[in-house]
Amino acid sequence: MPNKNDSYIITLKKAHIEWGTHRHTETRELIYGEGYIQIPSEYAQKFEIFMSNKKGANIEYKCSSSEGTLSDITLKASGSQGKNNLYAKQFQGSGNLKTIGNWYNAIKAKTGDKIKVTFTSPTTIYLEKL
């Protein structure tokens, strides 16, 4: 589990901001407004951020953002980093895949922007656009 003050920074790509429409699969129809926060493999392993296939793993994190748009919302660690890999590859809204997309829209995020993810406890996250 992450410790207080563990953090990482990602550079936004189009897929993060336009997850529901910038896809390389046809497993479902296009949905505008979805987004996610990438968890790079090295940090997923270092901080032991697992997806739901890992028995007993915490996959839900409370989240707030620096400008106040997100306040105590629940994000879910999900996605696989590869075959038989139990580490999560992204944070997404729990039950609402537009949660992060709406936040990106509110902060006017664009490709190339940097997002800092800071753990304020093992199960809470603070997001800020740098």
Q: What CATH number is attached to the domain comprising 75? A: 2.40.330.10
Placement of tokens 């038989």 in the chain: 84
CA 129 to chain centre: 13
pLDDT of residue 66: 97
Strand, coil or helix: what is 120?
strand
The pLDDT assigned to 104 comes to: 95
Q: What is the pLDDT of residue 16?
A: 82
**119: containing domain:** 7-129
In a domain, 2, yes or no: no
The two tokens of residue 22 are: 């910038």
Mean pLDDT score, 20-24: 56
pTM of the model: 0.88
Higher pLDDT, residue 125 or 23:
125
Residue 26 in any domain: the answer is yes
Mean of pLDDT over the chain: 89
For residue 119, give the 3-state DSSP assignment. strand
- Tell me the mean pLDDT in the region 78-88: 82
Indicate the number of domains in the chain: 1
Q: Is 114 within 8 Å of 9 (Cβ atoms)?
A: yes
Phi, psi dihedrals of residue 120, rounded to the nearest 5°: -95, -10
> Within a domain: residue 106?
yes
**102 within 8 A of 19, measured Cβ to Cβ:** no
Amino acid 80: pLDDT: 78
